[in-house]
Structure 1
Amino acid sequence: MKDFFHHRLWTGLSIENPATLYDTTGFSNTNGAVAMPNGSTITIGENGVGLTNDTTNFSNEIAPDVIGKVAYDPVWGHYEMEGILHFPHDRVTMGHTGHNNTAVGGGAGGSMILPLIPGKLELRMAGLAGWGINRYGSVMLPDATLKANGSPDPLFGVQAQAGIIAHPNPRIDVYGYFGTQRVGHSYFNENGGSYGYGNPAYSNAGCLQELSTLSCTANTRGVSEVTIGGWWRFFKGKFGTVEAGTQLAYSRRQIWSGIGGDPHTSMSQIFFDFRYLPFQ
């Protein structure tokens, strides 16, 4: 982390643990060993050893994720830009020989906080788009699937949110947000089989039928949510703050169209919170 211009411009660089989220719909996947229609085996992960959990499958990785950020605080507002590099990696084995494949994914985004009425009303916006970086969103959509030759195929994704936060008085905050995360598709058909993510040959015929014997593949296309809520700090003293909050959220999930269409699902939730913040 480094700052410039009297603490108004900041830059940062981080090296993060990678963890590619693969979708292997249509393939036979046994603990990270994926059988391909051409007879090869693709290794995308293995169970942990040593100090890692031996019942958890960890993705094969060749390099860490690289994340860079620039933040700027002018007289009005706060602004950020960031970039991510990610390197999905696997191994293709045919018979008793094999080779490695490494793809390059990454993306860029930004965010801002705009004090529309200083101390009373602010607007917040953020967005990120790129290939193979969907795990950085709260929905945890897949980063990649596999191509017909067994190499990683990073999926394009977009995530965005915007919100308004109001502070009518020092004890009350009221907010409203809208957010969405969406992922692309990539697929192929070979030897009578359908593979990949979002393949229109997959069946969604049983998705809205209870106890149906029909299949429901339902690869997620996007998830969106709108939420409103508020916080009331009803006690504030020298030993801390006690506050209560409530939030109402409506979420909607869309899927990639297949045989039987693309039915969506939705749900509404209400939350209640109670917090004690020591010495704050």
Structure 2
Amino acid sequence: MKINLKALASLVLVSTVSAAYAQPAAAPKHHYHHKVAKKSSIESQIQALQQQMEQQRDQINDLQQKLNERNEELQQAQTAAEQAQTAAQQAQAAADQQQQSLNSNAQAVSSLQSSVADLKASNEHVVASVKRQTAAMKKAVLHPDEIHYKGITISPHGSFIAAESVWRQGATGGGLNTAFTGVPLDSAPDASISEFDATGRQSRIALKATGKAGNMRMTGYYEMDWLGTGITSNNNQSNSYVVRMRQLWAQAALDNGWTFTGGQMWSLVAETTDGLENGSEVLPATIDPQYTAGFVWNRQYGFRVTKKVNSKLWFGASAEADQMLLAGNNLPKNELVGSAGNGGGLYNPTANYSFNLSPELVAKMAVQPGWGHWELFGVARFFHDRVYPTGSSPYNDSTVGGGVGASVRGPLFNKKVSIGLKGLYGDGTGRMGSSTIADATLRPDGQLALLHTFSALSTLEVNPNKRLMLYFNYGADYAGRRYFDASGEGYGSPYTNMSGCNTESVPSGPYASGAPAAPANCGGNTKDVQEFTAGDWYNFYNGPKGMLRFGLQYAYFTRNLWSGIGGPNNPDGGAKGTDNMFWTSFRYYLP
């Protein structure tokens, strides 16, 4: 801008000077007659021109001054702009720093809030954990589920006190427990008179001790009731009966899935619900201590080895005490299979014991694929006797029996219903059915002959609510025919005299001599025992103080004999016994 003003001033000056000198050049065109006047005119023009130049210089100076002032103002404006820009940059930097500080503060606040929240959650977890531990310690001290003794825990779980009764339409003389093969025939005197009994003998004491040693869990279990009888036991006044051992076993369970158990326990043929674990056996819900017909079981000595492969598969094997049940008609007497108990050996002198060749062997596989519990098992049994043939040297005879069984049990309708089915078929396995019909009979020469046997049980249990459980069972035990000639020798022979099965016998003597008696001329052997059972358990209370419950059971029995030779009073040669029975139970279980 300063250069432009200078150029403008120069232009004005040049123009003025040019105009001044241009006017005298044209003077020759004019003719003046007086010289004095001419000189005066030129001087005046010069003076005017000088005055004009001075005025122009003044204007130029004014313009120069204004230009300087404008430049100064421009410089001041530029300086102010630079200062404003610098201030703006400083303000922006300060703003950025402030924003960064705010962001840092926000992050710090967020981190602090997160830390506070984590600390609060951790404190809440610690408080909850302390409360749980305190409650557990308080419960362990004031209401212990187990007794702690020198590093082991002792639990009475499974113990209960029972007040129970039974009524039978046809008397069996067996008390609370039912001898299934003792169900009286319809024409027997017992079938015409009822019986009632009440007792607390099924009350039970159970103790389980558990301790941990390295990778091994050790367990000892003892279970007893009062269903045993002594020589002086009776119902006359004191009703005193002896303690009976139910279970008594020791166990070592390793962390790698192997478990070793030895002692008196439920046989491995008994069904379980948790792999092959001792203590998880599935028992019929009956009040009758003999359970129900078709139930496959034994409680006896065993040494068992099981392996948990994974959460769905188990294998197990056991060697168990054995005992042969021999039965039949017209059997030979030239053999030795056992004897009455020897008191010196601590056996019951009023009971018969077979001489066993070896333990029975059981192998089992259990699978829990996702629904239900499935089992497949096999049994091997080994029998022998001493035979004394006429005119020849005595010798030992032996034979091998066994069978195959399977079971399945599972829940339905959101665990409101449970169904179960189990069976065992084999040769010489009758002892394992709850009716204990028979295992073997004898040939005419005294050698053993095993019976085809079959046991099966179906179960339906319904739990409409937490207090009530309804159960329904139908089961049967069967022993097949095995006879050899027309003399009726063997088991279930069709040549057996059955002519008197429909005639009630007259007592042969006073009460003390053993009356009532079975029908005469009715010697058939038991073919099968069938039982239908319905019952319920109602829990009045089930909580930390234990369980108080009441149960009812009804059972209908049918015992069929193998048919033989009949007569006018028994044309078809058959015979059977039926019975209706009712039980009640009032129990308190320890927690």
- TM-score, structure 1 as length reference: 0.90
Q: Tell me, yes or no, if the aligned pair for 1:88 and 1:154 is still in contact at 8 Å.
A: no
Cα distance in 2 for partners of 1:167, 1:254 equals 34
- Quote the offset at 1:184 in angstroms: 0.3
**Higher fraction of strand:** 1
Counterpart position of 1:46: 339
Equivalent in the alignment of 2:479: 183
Alignment of 1:263 onto 2:559? no
Q: Does 1:237 align with 2:531?
A: no
Alpha-carbon shift at residue 73 of structure 1 (Å): 1.1
1:74 aligns with one of 366, 369, 377: 369
CA distance in 2, matches of 1:178, 1:57: 31
The Cα of 1:133 is off from its aligned counterpart by 0.7
SS of 1:104's equivalent?
Answer: strand
Q: 2:351 aligns with which of 49, 56, 64?
A: 56
1:14 equivalent in structure 2: 318
Give the residue type in structure 1 aligned to 2:379: I
**1:90 alignment counterpart:** 385
Alpha-carbon distance between aligned partners in 1 of 2:439 and 2:352, rounded to the nearest angstrom: 16
CA distance in 2: counterparts of 1:214 and 1:246, whole angstroms: 36
Is the 2:372–2:410 Cα contact (8 Å) retained in structure 1? Answer: yes
Distance, in Å, in 1 between the alignment partners of 2:375 and 2:417 is: 20
Which one has a larger percent helix, Structure 1 or Structure 2? 2
Amino acid at match of 2:491: Y
Distance 1:124 1:179 in 2: 11
Q: Summarize the alignment of residues 135-154 of structure 1 with structure 2, pairs less than 5 Å apart.
A: 135-154=431-450
Call closer, same or farther: CA 1:248–1:100 in 2, change over 3 Å.
same
- Distance, in Å, in 2 between the alignment partners of 1:89 and 1:140 is 19
- 1:96–1:52: structure 2 CA closer, same or farther, 3 Å change rule? farther
Distance in 2 separating the partners of 1:47 and 1:180: 30
Q: Is 2:215 the partner of 1:215?
A: no
Deviations 1:121-153 (A, max 9, x none): 111111000000100000011100011232111
| 1:204 maps to 2:516 | no
The match for 2:588 is 276
- Asked if structure 2 preserves the Cα contact closer than 8 Å seen for 1:207 and 1:218, the reply is no
Residues of 1 paired with 2:328 and 2:457: CA distance? 29
CA contact (8 A) 1:103 1:151 kept: no
The Cα of 1:218 is off from its aligned counterpart by 2.4
Partners of 1:195 and 1:142 lie apart in 2 by 15
Contact 1:23 1:197 (C-alpha < 8 Å) held by counterparts: yes
Range with bigger deviation, 165-174 or 52-61:
52-61
SS in 2 for 1:194: coil
Which residue of 307, 318, 326 maps to 1:2? 307
Counterpart residue identity of residue 194, structure 1: G
| 1:19 Cα deviation from its structure 2 partner | 0.5
- Superposed displacement of residue 214, structure 1: 4.1
Matched, 1:195 2:467: no
Q: Contact (CA 8 Å) 2:328, 2:492: kept in 1 or not? A: no
Runs of 4+ in 1 over 6 A off after TM superposition: none
User: Could you list the runs of 5+ residues in structure 1 that have no partner in the other structure?
Assistant: 28-33, 36-40
Task: Name the counterpart of 1:30.
Answer: none
Q: Distance in 2 between matches of 1:45 and 1:200?
A: 28
Q: Give the whole-Å Cα distance in 2 for the aligned partners of 1:184 and 1:275.
A: 40
TM-score, normalized by length of structure 2? Answer: 0.44
Matched, 1:224 2:530: yes
**Alpha-carbon contact 1:110-1:127 (below 8 Å) kept:** yes
Where does 1:138-177 land on structure 2 (aligned, <5 Å)?
A: 138-177=434-473
Partner-residue secondary structure (3-state), 2:431: helix
The answer to whether residue 415 in structure 2 is matched with residue 111 in structure 1 is no
* Aligned-partner residue type, residue 381 of structure 2: H
| Residues 328 and 525, structure 2, Cα contact 8 Å, conserved in 1 | no
SS at match of 1:67: strand
**Pair 211,65 (structure 1): closer, same or farther in 2 beyond 3 Å:** same
Residue aligning to 1:38: none
SS at structure 2 position matched to 1:135? helix
CA–CA separation in structure 1 for the residues paired with 2:577 and 2:588: 36
